Amino acid sequence: MSAVSINADRLLSRIHALGEVGRDGDGRLTRLAGSDADKAGRDQLVRWLREADLEIAVDRIGNIFGVWREAGNAEKAPVLIGSHIDTVIDAGIYDGCYGVLSGLEAIQTLREAGAALGRPIAIAAFTNEEGVRYAPDMMGSLVYAGGLSLDEALATVGTDGSILGEELRRIGYAGADGPGFSKPHAYVELHVEQGPVLEREGVPIGAVENLQGISWQRITIEGVANHAGTTPMSMRRDAGYAAARVIGFLHDRATASNTPTVATVGCIAFEPNAINVIPARATFTVDLRDPDAERLKAEEAALAAYLQDLATAENMTISTERLARFEPVTFDARIVGIIEEAARGRGLASKRMTSGAGHDAQMIARIAPAAMIFVPSVGGISHNPREYTADTDLVAGANVLLDVIQRLAAEGKIR
């Protein structure tokens, strides 16, 4: 058992305080990247970083860093803890924010305990993790890791026609530091699971050893608009019907498989979108995920073949646009082991597991050893105002994080 534990009241009060920033008149929490609500959330985080007497840096993509250095370790690569504080529309209060605020709490606890560490510790809040207003998601960490050029990211046009770089300047978070200005020694991200596994099995800590690959596409089907009452079924080129067939194909294929593959159509639009007109065009997104790279490729190939056959059978034109694609990630085995040891040291059971959601950790794993810690999500609910994790689990996860980063910051290098 560690001799040092986090200040639970301080952590929980900050989680709930940040959860009130960005609520609209109906009480819905929404902090989209680059918005006024995002600025308000960032401003609150920076105030807390200053109160903790951390060095504050903001890079050009808007990632915020709070760094604790001491005279004997200032030149060494830091142990980085991170996540995000942007949200989806009508969000819960834990997704991303829990990891950032737990990292801050762990640093403050160690400082107050007078811990002497061999390396700096830094906390990061990455820009546009959710990808709701600007695509792709996990953009700030992707740019930081060198997977997307800064100029391309800053020029991204949002769903509302805004430009990310202009919005970051407008809200005061277009920083001066180049992305990746400080390569971490190691990276650890604490997050709510956003799934049902830990709660179902009664396990308080997930030691995340890998993360699913993600394939996002936009599909457009071109048919012919015509009168809904006078056009015989046999003479229709109905883009809406064709879209429904694709959705059914994806659902049936994933359901029949004995693999962890999942498939989702999250957005769909018809044109002209009138009740009495056969759709001339259907545009929809497809989200495919699998932790195995070859299986993910196979699912993409199966979808492509089905679309080709469908286009021929229905006499339609079908086009696809790649929105984002990330390979599956295997996290650093040594850090995963340290997470398990830290859980045991706190008297907590742990489970090795796969993350079904994308996280900033998958980007930072490109440049540094990385792993994640999960705590249970009640009912597996996330991206929803009913998202909830019990306070005891939040505190337990933060204490495990504290022990992991203390050990990583005390060592010379990961072997």
Quick one: CA dihedral 364, 370, 375, 381, positive or negative? positive
Q: Look at strands 262-264 and 121-125 and give their pairing.
A: unpaired
Phi, psi dihedral angles at 28 (to 5 degrees)? -80, 135
Closest CA to 36 of 194, 160, 203: 160
- How far is the C-alpha of 156 from the C-alpha of 280, rounded, in Å? 29
- Output the pLDDT for position 412: 57
Could you write out the three-class secondary structure of 104-145?
A: HHHHHHHHHCCCCCCCCEEEEECCCCCCCCCCCCCHHHHHHC
Phi, psi dihedral angles at 62 (to 5 degrees)? 90, 5
> Any idea of the CA torsion for 104, 96, 145, 175, to the nearest 10 degrees?
-70
- DSSP symbol at 393: H
Instruction: Cite the beta strand spans of 49-119 per DSSP E.
Output: 55-58, 64-68, 79-83
Q: Which residue is it, tokens 């699998």?
A: 290
- Output the pLDDT for position 413: 46
Q: Which residues are annotated as a binding site?
A: 84, 95, 130, 191, 383
Quick one: CA dihedral 139, 141, 147, 153, positive or negative? positive
- CA–CA distances in Å: residue 226 to residues 131, 215, 276, 277: 36, 34, 9, 6
What 3-state class would DSSP assign to 347?
coil
- Output the pLDDT for position 254: 97
Domain residue ranges in the chain: 8-211+328-414, 213-326
Question: Taking CA 279 as the corner, what is the angle to CA 276 and CA 284, rounded to the nearest 5 degrees?
Answer: 135
pTM across the whole model:
0.88
CA 242 to chain centre: 31
Closest CA to 372 of 388, 351, 392: 351
Question: Taking CA 182 as the corner, what is the angle to CA 178 and CA 186, rounded to the nearest 5 degrees?
Answer: 140
What 3-state class would DSSP assign to 215?
strand
- Output the pLDDT for position 2: 61
Contact of 184 with 75, CB cutoff 8 Å: no
Task: Name the CATH topology of 213-326.
Answer: Alpha-Beta Plaits (3.30.70)
Indicate the class that CATH gives domain 8-211+328-414: alpha beta
The residues facing 375 across adjacent strands are: 192
Q: Which residues are annotated as a binding site for Zn(2+)?
A: 84, 95, 130, 191, 383
- Output the pLDDT for position 132: 94
- Output the pLDDT for position 227: 98
Element (H, E) at 278: strand 277-278
- Output the pLDDT for position 312: 97
Closest CA to 191 of 83, 330, 350, 308: 83
> Per-10-residue mean pLDDT for the chain, 415 residues long?
87 98 97 98 98 97 96 91 97 98 98 93 98 94 96 97 98 93 94 97 97 95 98 97 98 95 96 98 97 96 98 97 92 98 98 94 96 98 97 98 96 54
Residue 279: is the preceding peptide bond cis (ω within 30°)?
no
Contact of 264 with 251, CB cutoff 8 Å: no
114 conformational bin, left if phi > 0, alpha if psi -120 to 50, beta if neither: left
- How far is the C-alpha of 278 from the C-alpha of 133, rounded, in Å? 30
Burial 111-149 (b: 16+ CB within 10 A, else e): beeebebbbbbbbbbbbbbbbbbbbbbbbbbbbbbebbe
